[in-house]
Amino acid sequence: MDWRTKLLQSAPATPAGFESLVAATHRASTVVFPSMDEVREGWRQSEVGYVYGIYGTPTSDELATRIAALEGARHTFLVPSGQSAIALVDLTFCKPGDHVLVPGSAYGPNVEAAETLLGRYGVEAELYNPMIGAGIASLIRENTTLIWCESPGSITMEVQDIPAIVAAAHARNVVVAIDNTYASGVLFDAFAHGVDVSVQALTKYIGGHSDILLGSVSVATQDAYERIGDMRRTLGLSVSPDECSLALRGLQTLAVRMDRIEASTLEIAEWFTSRDEVNVVLHPALPSCVGHEFWKRDFTGSAGIFSVLFDPRFTTGQVNAFVDRLKLFRIGWSWGGVNSLVMAYPTLTRIDEKYHGRIVRFSVGLEDVADLIEDISHSLASMK
């Protein structure tokens, strides 16, 4: 053969006797078949084998299998981000003329997707009070097909009564999905509490280092498996094996990171309770957080996100300046990494409550807790 042909005809070698502690990173768009008799089609790779790179490689399958095992799921699908996970669920379970319920405390883009993406196709989205519990039965209509939960809620941290919502939904054959990113699929067992679909932004704690974008959709039933899988194929949602390899690495240290982050966050949140600049500390493990009793009942631990509501005597400008003065807490939208982050929300509103200009969310990382408290103390001192 000509040398040009030889460059392309060398098959990847799998050395015998080589064993590593790290999952290999397999990159592929094309999957080749030994013969025409063995050509196959379909997204169900666990049943038919590898078909095409868009459905996954051994690297992404390894990550999906581990996430499913952590969550106790029938199957886990990987998608490019947490938001794409939300959109996939919306488009799977809603069609024109349907009605979807979303908690007012949900992640902002989740609400936007329900109101704009689904609204464009004739689906009516209704926001509900996250603390409604069994009362959600009064909001379920004949055309309600999906109920979203997020517990704790985004920014305002309300912990929902998920079992009560699930019971009301399933009595009317309505699917319940939860954004379970806060719990990383381990602090809250969504499927043991009856949820049908659990989504995560693997970008957060499982990735753990603020360097990937990845999401997961885990399902409890065969029906959800078939419906989600078909829609994922139609939308062409695929993930990078390199991102998956980083998430697999993140899984190895998830337990130790979560333990350290939980302890540090609780110490800082409890320290805030003694500060007269703050009206209330919104941390699920503290009695001051709405739904604390449900956290005690349903969760096995807490994560690194909490919020504080400043006293009304402080203006939006003063609160923003407090955030600007922080040195160790960097200003950023995401969370769940090893670096501490902070964000103020000057225009945030919630059902029946207004937090305009006074709420600040903290994401605690792995820095020394005394240094973090000193950073906050210095900035608070300047508010006076």
Q: Find tokens 């805030």 and name the residue.
A: 272
Q: Judge whether residue 351 has pLDDT over 70.
A: no
Burial of 173 (0-12, 13-18, 19+ CB in 10 A): exposed
Task: Band the pLDDT of 4: cuts 50, 70, 90.
Answer: confident
pLDDT of residue 347: 86
Inside any domain, residue 19:
no
Asked if residue 349 lies in contact with residue 292, where contact means CB atoms within 8 angstroms, the answer is no
Please, what is the end-to-end C-alpha distance for the chain in angstroms? 80
Six token digits for residue 53: 């790179």
pLDDT of residue 234: 95
Inside any domain, residue 14:
no
Mean pLDDT of 149-162: 96
Domain boundaries, position 118: 36-248
Dump pLDDT digits (tens) for 325-343. 999 999 999 999 999 999 9
Inside any domain, residue 87:
yes
Mean pLDDT of 117-139: 96
**Whether 83 and 109 share a structural domain:** yes
Asked if residue 58 lies in contact with residue 26, where contact means CB atoms within 8 angstroms, the answer is yes
Inside any domain, residue 304:
yes
Q: What is the domain-level CATH number for residue 347? A: 3.90.1150.10
Cis peptide before 152 (omega within 30 of 0): yes
**Whether 198 and 101 share a structural domain:** yes
pLDDT of residue 103: 96
**Whether 354 and 270 share a structural domain:** yes
> Could you give the CA distance from residue 53 to residue 64 in angstroms, rounded to a whole number?
15
**Whether 196 and 120 share a structural domain:** yes
> Could you give the CA distance from residue 256 to residue 258 in angstroms, rounded to a whole number?
6
29-68 core/surface letters (b: 16 or more CB in 10 A; e: else)? eeeeeeeeeeeeeebbbeeeebbbbebbbebbbbbbebbb
Asked if residue 380 lies in contact with residue 354, where contact means CB atoms within 8 angstroms, the answer is no
**Whether 79 and 181 share a structural domain:** yes
Q: Judge whether residue 275 has pLDDT over 90.
A: yes
- φ, ψ for residue 125, nearest 5 deg: -100, 135
**Whether 208 and 272 share a structural domain:** no
Inside any domain, residue 297:
yes
Mean pLDDT of 300-322: 96
Domain boundary among 213, 248, 283: 248
Domain boundary among 227, 248, 269: 248
pLDDT of residue 10: 64
**Whether 211 and 264 share a structural domain:** no
Inside any domain, residue 282:
yes
Q: What is the domain-level CATH number for residue 85? A: 3.40.640.10
Inside any domain, residue 12:
no
β-strand pairing of 215-219 with 75-79: antiparallel
Asked if residue 144 lies in contact with residue 100, where contact means CB atoms within 8 angstroms, the answer is yes
pLDDT of residue 265: 98
Cβ atoms < 10 Å from Cβ of 28: 16
> Could you give the CA distance from residue 65 to residue 69 in angstroms, rounded to a whole number?
6
With helix as H, strand as E and coil as C, how does 237-259 read? Answer: CCCCHHHHHHHHHHHHHHHHHHH
**Whether 240 and 283 share a structural domain:** no
pLDDT of residue 207: 96
pLDDT of residue 45: 86
**Whether 55 and 162 share a structural domain:** yes
Structural domain count, the chain: 2
Burial of 10 (0-12, 13-18, 19+ CB in 10 A): exposed
According to DSSP, the residues that pair with 77 across neighbouring strands are: 217
> Could you give the CA distance from residue 304 to residue 260 in angstroms, rounded to a whole number?
9
According to DSSP, the residues that pair with 150 across neighbouring strands are: 179
Q: Is the dihedral of CA 375, 292, 258, 61 positive or negative?
A: negative
Dump pLDDT digits (tens) for 170-229. 999 999 999 999 999 999 999 999 999 999 999 999 999 999 999 999 999 999 999 999
Mean pLDDT of 96-100: 98
Q: 58-71 and 241-272 helices cross at what angle (nearest 10)?
A: 30
Inside any domain, residue 353:
yes
**Whether 84 and 184 share a structural domain:** yes
Dump pLDDT digits (tens) for 55-87. 989 999 999 999 999 999 999 999 999 999 999
Domain boundary among 248, 266, 298: 248
> Could you give the CA distance from residue 317 to residue 162 in angstroms, rounded to a whole number?
37
With helix as H, strand as E and coil as C, how does 134-159 read? Answer: HHHHHHCCCCEEEEEEECCCCCCCCC
**Whether 105 and 145 share a structural domain:** yes
**Whether 104 and 43 share a structural domain:** yes
> Could you give the CA distance from residue 193 to residue 167 in angstroms, rounded to a whole number?
10
Task: Band the pLDDT of 238: cuts 50, 70, 90.
Answer: very high
Asked if residue 248 lies in contact with residue 293, where contact means CB atoms within 8 angstroms, the answer is no
What does pLDDT average to over the chain?
A: 94
According to DSSP, the residues that pair with 148 across neighbouring strands are: 177
Residue 15 belongs to what H/E stretch? none
